[in-house]
Homo-oligomer: A and B are copies of this chain.
Amino acid sequence: MSEIKSTNIHWHEGDIGRDERWKALGCRGCTVWFTGLSGSGKSTIASAVEQALVNQKVNCYRLDGDNVRFGLNKNLGFSADDRAENIRRIGEVAKLFADAGVLALTSFISPYRKDRDLVRQIHGEAKPSAIDFIEVYVDTPLEVCEQRDPKGLYKKARAGQIKGFTGIDDPYEAPDKPELVLKTDQLSVEQSVRQVLEMLAGRKLIELKK
């Protein structure tokens, strides 16, 4: 084995702690959980927030259907149990990212209050201390979502081709006390993004560059 003459390799017994990691890397993790109806604009806004943060060199990562449904959660279907397990796993993974110092963004309908509250609880009970969980309610009226219908899903649900569709024949339970509400029928995407960034800055989770 060739020798490295001089490196800054040091370690101590026991694992590296969250504070030590975040301080060394100059990062701060948390979970920003977007919830709302299909077509509400969750993914558009979350994606734009992600891009804005990456441009500001904030470590962040978005969990969404594309990277979760066909990977980690590909063995889950749409039964009540599987839907709950879907959200639970996403919550656990977001918590791991946040612990790692990554600002985790999640973009899922997550229609049931108890599932979201479980994820909040998981973050609150994280060891050695709670991790910030920020619930962003993308509050777009059903009529607006149905009019947008970007994937044609509402049309199929109304025609009875999709069963158990949130807002049509399955309930959406709005958050009681979300950290932020975005009324996307009254805001541009840019305005929504700014509200999210200002809220995060107000909570000292990011610094906004001026």
Residues of A in contact with B (beta carbons under 8 Å apart): 1-12, 14-16, 20-21, 24-27, 47-48, 50-52, 54-57, 59, 61-63, 66-68, 71-72, 75, 85, 89, 92-93, 95-97, 99-102, 122, 190-191, 193-195, 197-198, 208-210
Most chain B CB within 10 A, of A3, A47, A51, A99, is at A51
Bound complex: CA A148 to CA B195 (Å): 55
Determine which of B24, B100, B209 lies in contact with A8 in the assembled complex, contact meaning CB atoms within 8 Å: B209
Given A67-B99, A96-B93, A210-B6, CB of A11 within 8 Å of CB of B59: no
| Contact in complex: B11, A51 (CB < 8 Å) | yes
If A11-B51, A102-B102 are given as contacts, then 18 extra A-B residue pairs at C-beta distance below 8 Å, sorted by A number, are: A1-B195, A4-B198, A7-B197, A7-B208, A11-B47, A11-B193, A16-B54, A21-B54, A24-B54, A24-B55, A25-B59, A59-B59, A61-B101, A67-B99, A72-B93, A89-B89, A93-B96, A100-B102
Number of copies: 2
| Contact in complex: A96, B122 (CB < 8 Å) | no
Given A16-B54, A59-B59, CB of A67 within 8 Å of CB of B48: no
Given A9-B193, A72-B96, A93-B72, CB of A57 within 8 Å of CB of B25: yes
Bound complex: CA A25 to CA B67 (Å): 20
Q: How far is the CB of A8 from chain B (nearest CB, A)?
A: 6
Q: How far is the CB of A35 from chain B (nearest CB, A)?
A: 19
| Contact in complex: A8, B56 (CB < 8 Å) | yes
Given A61-B100, A99-B67, A101-B59, CB of A54 within 8 Å of CB of B20: yes
Given A24-B57, A101-B59, CB of A51 within 8 Å of CB of B93: no
Residue of B nearest to A194 (CB): B4
Determine which of B2, B51, B191 lies in contact with A1 in the assembled complex, contact meaning CB atoms within 8 Å: B191
Bound complex: CA A27 to CA B85 (Å): 32
Bound complex: CA A72 to CA B87 (Å): 11
